[in-house]
Amino acid sequence: MGSLDPRKVFSLLFIIAIAVVFTVQFGPGNNGFANTGTGAAPSAAAVVNGKEIPANEFLREYAGQLQYLRQQGQPITEAVARQFGLPQTVLDRLVNTELLSQAAENHGVRASDEEILKILQRSPEFQKDGQFDYATYTQVLRDYMRQSPADYEESLRKRLTAQKMLGVVQNGVVVSDDEVRARFEKEGNQARVVFARFLPSMYAGKVTEPTAADLTAFKQGHEKEIKEYYETNRFLYQQPERIRASQVLLKVAPDATPEQKAQVLARAQALLKEIEGGKDFAEVARTSSEDPGTQANGGDLGWVERGNWEPALADAAFSLEAGKVTQPVETKYGVHLVKVEEKKPVQDRSLEQVQDEIATSLYKKDKAQALARAEADKALATVKGGKSITDLFPPEKEGQPALLRFETETRPEAVQTDTFTAAATNVPHLGPAPDLVTAIFATQGPTRLEQPYAVGEGFVIAQVTERQLPDDAKFAEKKTELRQQAQQAKQYEVADSFLKSLRKSGKVETNPTVLDQAVGG
């Protein structure tokens, strides 16, 4: 597998994120035929107005999206997926589909049997010799989707009904000439910048531990912030018993005979004997496990809570010491061998118990942030003296900044952006930075910006290297294209607004444990 291309990953993840609002995906390819094999989830990934979205449905969808990204040639890791919020994006799409299908029912909108049949007939996964084949259809659903035709078709109907509801909402959207002109003014207003950012993490090593007096004074002046931090991060201090585990899964068909089950059990016993004889568990998982979600990474399941699994599997695994392997355990997914890599007991720490720890962390963060701001001011003064950001902060290695190599920055480095427009809310490679964007497009040509800008937890200094102002002569030739773009943007806004209203008027509860399970805790 090749090296990671951050720009392509950004693009692919943007497409997936747009699908949260603008489209509903169809066909089994959307699910990637992935079965996580991680056992029963606590109850649901989310509950939407009392209707559950099963945890296994979410995990299947997430595995499918991860597989899709990897099929595009991107060696995207679980850490990168977590960094980009892919689990939340997938869950948001499932929640939106449920909200839209419920709204459709209230408005009398429903996908017809004929529409469902058309989708099934054109799905290549269900075809034999170029034609829809019912036997292939049922086999694919049984072996890969673990669903009956009735369940799969109902899921398909829900997604199509949701799409039809979006169509009803977006129907009739029109844009005026003034809106098209405003779009041209933004799209034709372009810039490129070079920037360097100063992050607290770059200067954390220069911050000394607070003295007892420092800590006492900080706690007295920041009681509210300490309490808010505790409440926001309560999950760090109050956690159930957990294990970090790996598994080997041997699948058992739902209609397997007792003899066939016995054969699978015998295979599991043979693998266990190899492991007990000294063979590496991860190697056995890579060569013998039938769980596509974990096989490639040696069966790694990440951190798991007892409630994530069926009782029989949980009881067997949670009773073991770290380093031990269960006897074969049968669940609805097949026969499991689970190795307990690490154990963490129940944790319940009060605010009083952790306030010094939190105060120390916030104190050091404040000091590091002050150092970052001071260094940004110092660098900008040097730029005002005639130096360029590129000269001051050349890339540390490989001729390319760490930010573009998808690595953690350890010091400020000059980053040159691609061209972007005044319609953007983000600066390329930086993310949301509205004050910085406003300052950039207030300039009339290449120049430096006169102050550092707060972006995230750090500070940014920037120089505008290229500026292009709107050219009225091009408006007429681009008017049709711009109108189409404005129409699509307005349809997106209308759909997004409708979904937000559905969330506001309804009740959506999500299960963070399932999101953690998707990315290995």
pLDDT surpasses 50 at 23: no
> Is it the case that residue 287 has pLDDT exceeding 80?
yes
Question: Smallest Cα–Cα separation from 482: which of 184, 273, 69?
Answer: 184
CA dihedral 162, 167, 170, 176 (to 10 degrees): 160
Q: What is the pLDDT of residues 177-218, one digit of tens each?
A: 888 877 777 777 889 999 999 999 999 989 999 999 999 999
- The tens digit of pLDDT for each residue in 64-104 reads 777 777 776 666 677 777 777 788 888 888 999 999 999 99
Predicted confidence at residue 217, as pLDDT, reads 93
Neighbouring residues of 436: CB distance < 8 A, sequence distance ≥ 6: 427, 430, 449, 453, 455, 460, 462
CB 349 within 8 A of CB 237: yes
User: From CA 16, how far away is CA 415, in angstroms rounded?
Assistant: 26
Alpha-carbon span 140 to 149, nearest angstrom: 10
Distance between CA atoms of residues 100 and 22, nearest Å: 12
pLDDT for 415-448, tens place per residue? 999 999 887 888 999 889 999 999 999 999 999 9
pLDDT tens column, 122-133 = 888 888 888 898
**Are the C-beta atoms of residues 441 and 422 closer than 8 Å to each other?**
yes
Q: Quick one: pLDDT at residue 6?
A: 52
* Residue written as token pair 């999950």: 235
Reply yes or no on whether the pLDDT at 167 is more than 70.
Answer: yes
Which residues touch 173 (CB under 8 Å, ≥6 apart)? 487, 490, 491, 494
| Range among 148-152, 358-362, 509-513 with highest mean pLDDT value | 358-362
The CATH code that applies to domain 241-345 is 3.10.50.40
Determine the Cα–Cα distance for residues 21 and 93; give it in Å rounded to an integer: 7
**Mean pLDDT across the chain:** 84
* Dihedral angle, C-alpha 358, 363, 364, 367, nearest 10 °: 160
Whole-angstrom distance between the N-terminal and C-terminal Cα of the chain? 25
Residue with tokens 């899921």: 155
Strands (E) in 310-418, as ranges, are 329-331, 334-344, 347-348, 415-416
Kindly report the pTM of this predicted structure: 0.47
pLDDT at 307: 83
Confidence of residue 300 (pLDDT cuts 50, 70, 90): very high
pLDDT 10s digits, 493-517: 888 888 889 989 999 988 887 777 6
Q: What are phi and psi of 462, to 5 degrees?
A: -145, 155
Angstrom distance (rounded) from CA 414 to CA 420: 17
SS3 annotation, 474-508:
HHHHHHHHHHHHHHHHHHHHHHHHHHHHHHHHCCE
Cα 300 from Cα 283, distance rounded (Å)? 11
- Residues 462-485 have a mean pLDDT of 80
Per-residue buried b or exposed e for 405-441, using 16+ beta carbons within 10 Å of the residue's own CB: beeebeebbbbbbeebbbbbeebbbbeebeebbebbb
The C-alpha atoms of residue 317 and residue 328 are separated, in whole angstroms, by 11
Which range has highest mean pLDDT (10-19, 29-38, 49-58, 182-191)?
Answer: 49-58
Task: Please tell me which of 18-27, 105-114, 333-342, 504-513 the model is most confident about, judged by mean pLDDT.
Answer: 333-342
Q: Identify which has the larger pLDDT, 457 or 172.
A: 457
Domain 6-173+502-518 has CATH 1.10.4030: yes
pLDDT of residue 517: 67
- The label of the residue with tokens 């930075």 reads 433
pLDDT(35) > 60: no
Question: pLDDT of 258-283, one tens digit each?
Answer: 999 999 999 999 999 999 999 999 99
Which region holds residue 153: left if phi is over 0, alpha if psi is between -120 and 50, else beta?
alpha
Query: Mean pLDDT throughout 139-164?
Result: 85
Positive or negative, the CA dihedral 499, 503, 509, 515 is positive
Say what the pLDDT of residue 394 is: 92
Are 161 and 110 in contact by the 8 Å Cβ rule? The answer is yes
Would you state the pLDDT for residue 383? 94
1 falls in which pLDDT band (50, 70, 90)? very low
Residue with the bigger pLDDT between 473 and 90: it is 90
Q: Which pair of structure tokens corresponds to residue 154?
A: 């109902």
Angstrom distance (rounded) from CA 342 to CA 77: 22
In this prediction, residue 372 carries a pLDDT of 95
> What is the residue type of 170?
Q
| Bridge partners, residue 431, by sequence | 427
Instruction: Say which residue, 243 or 39, is predicted with more confidence.
Output: 243
Q: Calculate the alpha carbon distances from 293 to 34, 36, 310, 343, 397 in Å.
A: 6, 5, 18, 22, 35
